[in-house]
A = this chain, B = another copy of it.
Amino acid sequence: MDARELGLPGEVPSPETEDMPDEVTIWEVGPRDGLQNESEVVPPAVKLEFLNRLADAGLPVVETTSFVHPKWVPQLADAAEVLDGLSRVDGVRYPVLVPNERGLDRALASGVHDVAIFASATETFTRRNLNRGLDEQFAMFDPVVRRAVTEGLNVRGYVSMVFGDPWEGPVAVDQVVSVGKRLLDMGCGQLSLGDTIGVATPGHVETVIRAFVAAGVPLHRLAVHFHDTYGQALSNTCAALRLGVSTVDASAGGLGGCPYAGSATGNLATEDLVWMLDGLGIRHGVDLRALVDTSVWMAGQLGRPSPSAVVKALAR
């Protein structure tokens, strides 16, 4: 069921949006990026139901978990158990985050086909997150990516703090492109350009994407990852679509907010993205009603309402 079947206005032909892609791959990050911010540990059985429902709702990529050390993210300490229990849907990809070679070993032992590494565009955040400098992060990721590629895995490179850094403020576009290119050269198949603190606006998004294209990076190797901290996530996504980007990260129900902030500071909600794509006539393969039902159920598990506008509106 999509927005049109709900009896609401659907696709309207538009001269201006002709350059947008015909089809978008929604890269669902709720089970990993969303849940890793939850302080209360979610049982593996609940995670598995969440993952299976997301795949059943038509999401083509469901980022499943992370092999980060359990000391840092206790929420995802059950990564191997979750991967072992997954009912894999044909054609659906289940990537996992791997922070280092030990994480890659564990991912390979769990039989994954897709992994992701999490890099930073800024010196300060690299130091705070990885306890090493901007350049040193490449020395850390290089053996991980090379071995993953040798093992036949697809590797995604997250670039965080692309549009701003809480300590440094604005981030030079050249620096972002340089970090991204080094990850691609290393063997990453796709970059996910992340607005980790949610400060970006549409012109800034266009500038960064154009800079990558000018540096010779094809659009299909770029994905965008926006947070809604300042309410800009969907506008920024729309700006990226206008330039032809066709992979968009989103989180079912907008999962991923800092628990202390209540709501609306998390990832772009997958449902709000689907609503826009339906209106734009862009294919995505997701059953909106099944997705909303999943987010309502997950909100019940977490004990607080989803911050997604579409979930709130359709759950009434």
Contacts and interface: CB of A to CB of B under 8 A. Distances in A.
Contact of A272 (B232, B278, B312): B232
A43 interface: no
Contacts of A199: 3, 8-9, 279
A16 B231 contact: no
A198 B305 CA distance: 20
Contacts of A286: none
Contacts of A276: 201-202, 232, 235
Contacts of A55: none
- Binding site secondary structure of chain A: loop
A14 B264 contact: no
B200 A164 contact: no
A316 interface: yes
Interface stretch (A92-100, A132-140, A203-211): A203-211
A200 to B, nearest CB: 7
A112 interface: no
A164 B275 CA distance: 14
Chain A interface size range: 35 or more
B13 A308 contact: no
Interface in A6-33: 7-17
Contacts of A210: 15-16
Interface in A24-51: none
A60 interface: no
B12 A207 contact: yes
A10 B199 CA distance: 9
A299 interface: no
Contacts of A231: 234, 269, 272, 275, 308-310
Contacts of A262: 305, 312
A89 B204 CA distance: 35
Interface string A228-266: 111110110111001100000000000000000111110
Given A14-B204, A206-B17, A207-B14, A264 B9 contact: no
A167 to B, nearest CB: 10
Contacts of A9: 163-164, 169-171, 199-200, 204
13 contacts: A3-B199, A12-B170, A12-B173, A14-B202, A16-B242, A201-B276, A201-B280, A204-B279, A231-B234, A231-B272, A232-B272, A235-B235, A238-B238
- Closest A-B pairs by Cβ, 8 of them: A201-B279, A14-B203, A231-B309, A231-B272, A9-B164, A12-B204, A9-B170, A16-B206
Interface of A: 3, 7-17, 163-164, 169-171, 173, 198-204, 206-207, 210, 228-232, 234-235, 237-239, 242-243, 261-265, 269, 272, 275-276, 278-281, 305, 307-310, 312-313, 316
